[in-house]
Chains A and B, each alone.
Chain A
Amino acid sequence: MFGKKRVAVIGAGMTLFRRNLKETGKELAWEASNMALDQAGLELKDIESVVMGTAPDAFDGVHMKGEYLADGAGAWRKPYSRVFVGGGTGVFAIDAGWWHIASGQFDTCMVVAEEKMSSCYPHPAYAFTTIFDPIYSRPLGVTLIWIFALEMHRYMHVHGIKKEDIARVSVKNKRNALDHPCAQLGANITIEDVLNSEVMCWPVQRLDISPTSDGGAALILASEDVAKKITDNPVWIDGVGWCIDTTFWTNRDLYYPKYVQGAAQMAYKMAGIKNPPKEIDVAEVYDPFDYKELHHMEGLMLARKGQAPKLTAEGVTQRDGDLPINPSGGLLGVGNPIAAAGLMKCCEIFWQLRGEAGKRQVKGDPRTGLAQAWGDLMQYGSVVVMRS
């Protein structure tokens, strides 16, 4: 066993994901975390520590929003920390929650994530232009979508992947999201719809991209002793991993996410996983763009390099396939309130492993699940492996 205590997930909660929600960020954090507590059958006084995951301050428009959100996250007079690794934050937050308990310091930890992107005008993408190096990059007018388009194009070029091979991911995830009660963009669309959608930054088209969203999500973690007293059905965190690659993103070959591989190797080693595609029953892979699901499946070694599109075309990644990917509907379907979207993926794996995902439940009896997120300047991977 890694750490002093084995760590379980015992409750999950989330809000609707929408383009504009009336609630403030604090209120969203409270709604999600209060639901997670209810589901775990605990009260705030039972929580010993809190981890908050939330992405750039520039979205909510509240500088130092870790402290701003603290009361909504239930952190009043408790050990509290905010973690932040860009888009990787949601999954990194559960990793951080794990070490709070595994260290032996706490028996319970509430992990909360929130994003309120709708505050930012003219568009949250504008706030993102400030993440780039002010000297090398910004004078060129660089915007976030450029760098993803450059990565997607390189990935397509190296493996000879066609756009329709990638569009299948968007079709699948938006359809899966029709069964998610919180989803912002569940829809029945076709490959042609994706291929005919507006070209934004070739090869990225409108329907290749997840939306901007408001939302919150939360999980309750507990040590083995506490979890076994509360529930007969805990989900164990058996692997955590995180890894960052160089910030000089133009200096590496964008066709393969080595940072995701690094994070996965760390988590697999901890979980004793030797053959990921065989041993993992269901995965929530970070999909802010459709190509990223494929790219990340390869980084996670769930598919060989360049083979993820083939698995997708064969239906392997559908809910009733052998390796269901993003049964929730992912970011493309459920929505993308950055950190909350990553934690939503952890919630989904929790529900799937408990057999409580309702219409979204994958076939068989999944015992091992994985959630992954990706962030910073296309350079960060965070992974969690859970088992029921």
Chain B
Amino acid sequence: MAGSQKPYPRTTVKKIVKAHSNKSLSKNVDILIYLDYILFMQHLMREASISAKQAGEKNISARSIHKVTEDALRKFKG
């Protein structure tokens, strides 16, 4: 997607997780977390597009994403 650009804001992800867990992160966990996040996004968007199709929408609407969010989050719950 973005060749020269940095693939993702690593420090941001780190900060987010740090703030939520109140723990420090070991060296490369944030990458794993980000990968998991990508998986999550993939799953979310796939489900959302499916539900959007079912609802007969052209684009993915916010509503279809809302619908899917719960399940997706639950699926990615530890």
A is bound by B: no
Instruction: Report which A residues bind B (CB closer than 8 A).
Output: none
